[in-house]
Amino acid sequence: MRLLIVDDEPIIRSGLMKMAQQYTQSFQTIETAINGVEAIERIALLEPDLLITDIRMPKMDGLELCRKLHDSHPHLLKVVISGYNDFEYAQKCLSYGVKHYLLKPVTPPDLHDVFDQILKLQSQGFISVSGYIEWIERMKGSIWSLQTDEITRLLAEWRKHCCHFTVNQLQHLLDEVLLLLDTHFQTKKQFVMSGLQEPLLASTQEELFLAFECRMRTLMKELLHSRQGNYKDPMEEAKVFIDTRLSVEVTLTEVADLVGITPSYFSTLFRKMTGETFVSYRMHKRMEKARDLLSIPHKRTFDIASEVGYDDYPHFTKTFKKIYGMSPSEYRSSMGIK
């Protein structure tokens, strides 16, 4: 598990970190933040599974932090630390998913007991925030790009990971996934499926999984229908976009946005489908075009470098030699062109 400790007092922050490090089960990472504002930034980067936060802090207090995270990171486990005078205030966090409180001064047995309770919860049914978000992002990309095989793998992965959940836990989790997918596609104005976020109706785990899988497949069918059957493979679209813009700088994010996939998922999918990274693919395409242009006698080598996106001529010649084993001028000489 990944832990984030939020407290504006350096001594308390350091003490909590030391107590966490002394726990029998080691954490994958333990990070700190001095207030809610910094915590939001750290969470975006680290995606922790567990948060320990003080109530009284400048800039953004613990209550406001929990409120924001309840909406943006519903699966993040939260522990609130408060003084006796703040306990009534801290109880307001109940509505923001906080289930654990610690009263100051916090002792190692206090903190370790909370960790024990959380690990027990984990064994009953828990999914890490980082894993959850990664799975959601892969699901979004697979749906939009209509990658049926990938969807099947993701659903099988989900079944395996959630097999120990109770029916209620699984129902809540799958309903939340449907809501997030619906919000994602509506926000991007890519596609709207009526009834996507309606709660799943089932009484067993197996029925829930089947209902969820059915909803995903229906979503893909409606998405294909909305495109009037004119489906374009996202990787083919991406390659055409790159191939026709070799003279200018095109970023991975720009191409990912074009095909409606997150940059991280696009990078993984592009490599899987082409056997190359985005950067490697574009470089090879530039060199292929340069080789074709070098066979045209009246074309100047310097101008060819510019046509394939290289303003730095020495870098162009070095890259060409790396790919073809000879410099552009040597290549031309081998073709009888001076």
Residues 53 and 120 in one domain: yes
215 and 169 inside one domain: yes
- Percent with pLDDT over 90 in the chain: 9
Give how many domains the chain has, as a whole number.
3
Residues 6+ apart with CB under 8 A from 266: 141, 238, 252, 255, 256, 259, 278
Specify if 232 maps to a domain.
no
On average, the pLDDT of the chain sits at 80
User: What pLDDT sits at residue 125?
Assistant: 47
pLDDT in tens, 316-336: 999 999 999 999 898 888 888
Q: In angstroms, how far is CA 16 from the centroid of its own chain?
A: 29
Eight-state DSSP code of residue 308:
T
Q: What is the CATH number of the domain that holds 49?
A: 3.40.50.2300
- The pTM assigned to this predicted structure is 0.44
Q: What is the pLDDT at residue 284?
A: 92
Q: For the segment 21-54, what is each residue's pLDDT rounded down to a tens digit?
A: 888 777 778 888 888 888 888 888 777 888 888 8
Which domain CATH number covers 327? 1.10.10.60
Is residue 52 in some structural domain? yes
Would residue 93 count as lying in a domain? yes
pLDDT at 308 exceeding the cut of 80: yes
Q: How confident is the model at residue 192 (pLDDT cuts 50, 70, 90)?
A: low
Stated as kind and residue range, the H or E segment containing 3 is: strand 2-6
Residues 270 and 155 in one domain: no
Out of 61, 90, 125, pick the residue that ends a domain. 125
Helices 108-125 & 167-187 angle (0-180, nearest 10): 80
Element spanning 29, H or E: strand 29-33
Q: What is the mean pLDDT of residues 157-172?
A: 76
Assigned token pair, 210:
């089947």
State whether 27 and 97 are in the same domain.
yes
Residues 100 and 145 placed together within one structural domain of the fold = no
Whether residue 312 is contained in a domain is answered as yes
Whether 178 and 204 map to the same domain: the answer is yes
pLDDT grade for 124, boundaries at 50, 70 and 90: very low
**Residues 109, 68 contacting (CB under 8 angstroms):** no
Q: Domain end: 125, 149, 180, which one?
A: 125
The amino acid sitting at 116 is D
Q: Looking at residues 44-67, what average pLDDT do you find? A: 82
Structural domain of 155:
129-226
- First-to-last C-alpha distance (Å) of the chain: 64
Whether cis (ω within 30° of 0) applies to the bond prior to 108 is no
Whether residues 269 and 178 share a domain: the answer is no
- The answer to whether 80 and 66 are in contact (CB under 8 A) is yes
Q: pLDDT for 235-285, tens place per residue?
A: 777 888 888 888 888 888 888 887 777 787 788 778 877 888 989 999 999
Whether 86 and 147 share a structural domain? no
